[in-house]
Structure 1
Amino acid sequence: MAYTSPSRHRTALLASSVAVLGLLTACGNGTGTASPPQKVPGTAAPATGGPTTGAPATSTAPGSAPSGTTTAPEGTATHPGSSSPSAGGDSGSGTGTTARGTRCHTSELKATVGRNDPGAGQENFPVVLTNTSGRTCTVHGYPGAAFVDASGRQLGPDPKRESGTPSTVTLRPGASAWAGLTFSNPGVSGARTATPASLIVTPPDERDHLTVTWTAGQVPVGGNASSVFLTVFSPGTGP
């Protein structure tokens, strides 16, 4: 039996213990204290709630509209159906297709103002249209009329229409139709007055007017009882 000295025996035991310890360290991490930290693929959101690197920006500034949407400005609108009133307003003619097709045009007519027929504080003038053309034509309804000064500026408001039943008046060449123009005598009504230079007369359904020199003195243009009235056309040159 070989003899082993005590010092060698202790040395052998120590070497064996170191070898076993090294083996355990290299193979196991069950305790979690011996293995180094390991990297996991991907990114983790920080625990502090700070911005996430690489995340797409999805928020918009307060009050801004989302991308791709269009908001119409307030207060803008189209005009529905382009339905604004036509210039000159209602002609009051009430004509049918045949009457419109044969109506007298301004260029075919002559306008005159007949003699005053006063009564009961009223001034009454016939406004006469005479067919000067070589064809038969018609007038229907009310004329347009206004008093103007020498520069063509209108005096007073537009005349009003008295109630009446419009009828078609046929005018052969040289024939006439008349409509009444009436107003309260300014000396009786106390209305504000002016002295017109002319009366302009527009035939029914026409744009162009005829000018008649006004020689009958002052007319009411404002204040009390200042309205001027027109009646529908009738055949002839006056009542």
Structure 2
Amino acid sequence: MAHPSLPVNRAALLAGAAAVLGLLTACGNGGAASPPQHVSGTAAPASGGTTASGSASSAPGDGTAQGSTAPGSSPATTRAGGTTAGTNPGTGAGSGAGGRCHTSQLKASVGRNDPGAGQENFPVVLTNVSGRTCTVRGYPGAAFVDASGKQLGPDPKRSAGTPTTVNLKPGRSAWAGLTFSNPGVSGAKTATPAALIVTPPDERDHLTVPWQAGPVPVGGNASSVFLTVLSPGTAP
């Protein structure tokens, strides 16, 4: 009874040993192959991701630095340039002598008529009543108005002429010729103005001069009124 059991036990032991070896072989092969592939596969993306992330981080860093510098510099440059540009015009506009005469610095008057060849010729005079020298240049504006301030007739036309700058020291004057055909000769429609409105060159505010020279042409044939450029003095 004892002898027959030995072969059985050996067979069982051999079978068990074979099974353990098979398991060990399988585990050895799987452990050798799988972990290196897994580690290698994990390491490569990590390295690549770090590099890419580093590059990406570097690029935005440079871009941000450039972006911060450029906007920071550009407005500063613009402000500096704008301040400089603003200062120069301000200095020029604020200069004393030689600046343009403003309406508030002037007084308007109408000189004596100097008729000739069917023409009526009046000097329109602008006098500097301020305390500083200023200049006038070109044509004044003018319009005849009635007592209510309504304009009579069209705006005067400009006679041909070359504008020159007239320096007006305090108390000095410049004049422009106001001329029209005598209505009795031309047969033009007439009206008697209450005043002549005079606007200095390049100004909006006007000066009012009472008109005491009788009827003026306001419509019909030969009704145009003409103005000449300003010249130094009070009359031709």
For Structure 1 versus Structure 2, the TM-score category normalised by the shorter chain is: 0.5 to 0.7
**Structure 1: any 5+ residue segments left out of the alignment?**
1-96
Counterpart code for 2:131: G
Instruction: Spell out, residue by residue over 1:162-206, the C-alpha distance to the aligned partner (whole angstroms, 9 max, x if none).
Output: 000000000000000000000000000000000000000000000
Q: Does 1:226 align with 2:214?
A: no
* Secondary structure, counterpart of 1:119 in structure 2: coil
Counterpart code for 2:230: F
Per-residue deviation at 1:160? 0.1
- Which residue, 200, 204, 207 being the options, matches 2:201? 204
Aligned residues: CA RMSD:
1.9
Matched with 1:112 is: 109
Cα distance in 2, alignment partners of residues 237 and 103 from structure 1? 19
Matched with 1:146 is: 143
- Which residue, 172, 179, 184 being the options, matches 1:182? 179
Per-residue deviation at 1:109? 0.2
Runs of 4+ deviating beyond 3 Å: none
Cα distance in 2, alignment partners of residues 220 and 172 from structure 1? 35
Cα distance in 2, alignment partners of residues 193 and 200 from structure 1? 18
- Which residue, 142, 166, 169 being the options, matches 2:166? 169
Q: Identify the structure with the greater helix proportion.
A: 2
How high is the sequence identity, in percent, across the aligned residues?
85
TM-score normalised per structure 1: 0.58
Per-residue deviation at 1:139? 0.1
Cα distance in 2, alignment partners of residues 204 and 154 from structure 1? 19
**Structure 2: any 5+ residue segments left out of the alignment?**
1-92
Counterpart code for 2:101: C
Counterpart code for 1:194: A
Counterpart code for 1:119: G
Counterpart code for 2:166: V
Matched with 1:18 is: none
Cα distance in 2, alignment partners of residues 235 and 158 from structure 1? 24
Cα distance in 1, alignment partners of residues 99 and 202 from structure 2? 12
Cα distance in 2, alignment partners of residues 228 and 123 from structure 1? 10
Matched with 1:63 is: none
Cα distance in 2, alignment partners of residues 129 and 110 from structure 1? 6
Cα distance in 2, alignment partners of residues 105 and 125 from structure 1? 23
- Which residue, 151, 155, 173 being the options, matches 2:152? 155
Cα distance in 1, alignment partners of residues 173 and 160 from structure 2? 22
Per-residue deviation at 1:238? 0.3
Cα distance in 2, alignment partners of residues 234 and 162 from structure 1? 13
Per-residue deviation at 1:236? 0.2
Q: How many residues align?
A: 144
Per-residue deviation at 1:136? 0.2
